[in-house]
Structure formats: structure tokens, C-alpha cells
């Protein structure tokens, strides 16, 4: 029988996102009450030309990464340790964020995918509270130096 809207659709597969995990270094992850994560990784690209020539050149510059983390503020011990580690630029050599997820469903997981953000440092912290829920929400901005697929 034809599709109601005359469309041809093929099932490309399924996957579940409940195996996603975010870890900060080796000591932080579960318990950080992370609600949302977003990141971008950019490189400077300059186009130059030579006078009297039609040739153009691309010059790749430095990279820059930013990560936004929204989380519920608490518990105290975990937050203090996280700030001490990721807020100190002198410890950036150890500060990595890893986001991994398992592809597939149930017993048919087909592999692990992920991203590693290296040498991350907190550059901004914001707090807010909602009168209805009475939870303190935290907005973190981190800068990182390198992004790798893992």
C-alpha cells in the first residue's frame, strides 16, 4: 500500500541516546548534574592574494574552542573540586572533557563514538535561580585548545 503522502521512506537504522556520557577529566562526570552541553571548534583562515596575480592562497591560523555547560548547581564538594581543577589555567594540561555515546539499540550496539576536548579552562561562570523550582542553575563557559574524535 502506498504512503498516505506519497513519500518513499526507507528505515536507515535506529539508535538510542541513553548511553551518552560526559566526563570531565578522570574524576568528574556523574553527579555534576549536567543538563546541556554545546561546543564549537574554529580555526582562523586567511585568504591572501599577490598583486598582479590571479592566484589566491589560504593560510590556516590558530584554533580556538569554546564549550558551554548548563548544570544544576551542587553538590558542594564536587563543585569546589571541579572549580579548583578546571578554573586554574596552570592545570590546563590535565583538563580534558570527553563526550561519548554508544551507537545502536539494546544488545545491538555497534560501537562507541565520541569527542575529546583537550586543555579546557573555565573562563566564565554564571548563576541563576528560578522562583518556581528553587534550583540554582549554573552556566559555565570553558575555552579549550584542541578537539579530537575518539
User: What are the cell numbers at 71?
Assistant: 548544570
Indicate the domain borders of the chain.
21-149
Which CA distances in Å does 70 have to 34, 85, 116, 137, 138? 6, 18, 18, 7, 6
The pLDDT tens digits along the chain (150 residues) read: 678 888 888 887 776 776 677 777 656 656 678 889 999 999 999 999 999 999 999 999 999 999 999 998 877 777 788 888 899 999 999 999 888 776 667 666 666 678 999 999 999 999 999 889 888 999 999 999 999 998
State the maximum Cα–Cα separation within the chain, in Å, rounded to a whole number. Answer: 66
CA pair distance 113, 18, nearest whole angstrom: 13
Architecture of domain 21-149: Roll (2.30)
* pTM score, whole prediction: 0.77
Amino acid at each position: 500500500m502506498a504512503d498516505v503522502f506519497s513519500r518513499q521512506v526507507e528505515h536507515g537504522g535506529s539508535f538510542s541516546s541513553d548511553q551518552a556520557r560526559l566526563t570531565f577529566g578522570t574524576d568528574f562526570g556523574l553527579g555534576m548534574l549536567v543538563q546541556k552541553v554545546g561546543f564549537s571548534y574554529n580555526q582562523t583562515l586567511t585568504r591572501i592574494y599577490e598583486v598582479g596575480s590571479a592566484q589566491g592562497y589560504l593560510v590556516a591560523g590558530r584554533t580556538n574552542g569554546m564549550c558551554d555547560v548548563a548544570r544544576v548547581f551542587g553538590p558542594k564538594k564536587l563543585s569546589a573540586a571541579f572549580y579548583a581543577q578546571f578554573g586554574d589555567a596552570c592545570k590546563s594540561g590535565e583538563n580534558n572533557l570527553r563526550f561519548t555515546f554508544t551507537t545502536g539499540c539494546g544488545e545491538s550496539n555497534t560501537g562507541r563514538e565520541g569527542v575529546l576536548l583537550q586543555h579546557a579552562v573555565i573562563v566564565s561562570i554564571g548563576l541563576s535561580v528560578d522562583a518556581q523550582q528553587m534550583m540554582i542553575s549554573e552556566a559555565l563557559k570553558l575555552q579549550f585548545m584542541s578537539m579530537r574524535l575518539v
